Amino acid sequence: MNDFDFFAGRWNVTSRRLIKPLSGSDEWEEFPGFTVATRHFDGAASVDEIVFPTKGFSGMTVRVYDERAGQWAIYWANSATGRLDTSAMVGGFEGDRGEFHGEESVAGRRVRCRFVWTVPGAGAARWEQAFSGDGGRTWETNWTMDFSRA
């Protein structure tokens, strides 16, 4: 249940985001950010607020571990929309890699969504988001965040 303990603290973030996911476009934007993450419930919960100063919005992630299921549920709130996404991304870690699945709305349609967390070392982490418009047969990575310890 302590899978996200590595994330507690301050981080600098480099984001790279596909401008029009699932459209066939390969146009990306890159922008900086920073985040502060905290652990709660003796490691069974993790919360962070990430600020994207050049984009004019912030996000908050709440992660809660379900010990009976042995899985994490990840929820996202965005200052641009002013709401908490109520559909969780669910999954877990094996070693230094975590994979989480759920659904997202893209251009008005529901698609499969996947998060992948990797932790290559004490001062680095990477998050990737990918969408699948074909039920999970193929995936298009549309957002990556590389974290370095601040």
User: In whole angstroms, how large is the CA radius of gyration of the chain?
Assistant: 15
Answer yes or no: CATH 3.40.50.720 is held by domain 5-149: no
Contacts of 116 (CB under 8 A, 6+ apart): 97, 98, 99, 100, 127, 128, 130
pLDDT tens string 17-48 = 999 999 999 999 999 999 999 999 999 999 99
Nearest one of 112, 121, 142, 147 to 25, comparing CA atoms: 142
pTM above 0.95, yes or no: no
pLDDT tens string 52-97 = 999 999 999 999 999 999 999 999 999 888 888 878 999 999 999 9
Question: How far is residue 26's CA from residue 32's CA, in Å, rounded to a whole number?
Answer: 20
Helix (H) or strand (E) holding 91: strand 89-94
Q: Which of 11-15, 80-84, 96-100 has the lowest mean pLDDT?
A: 80-84
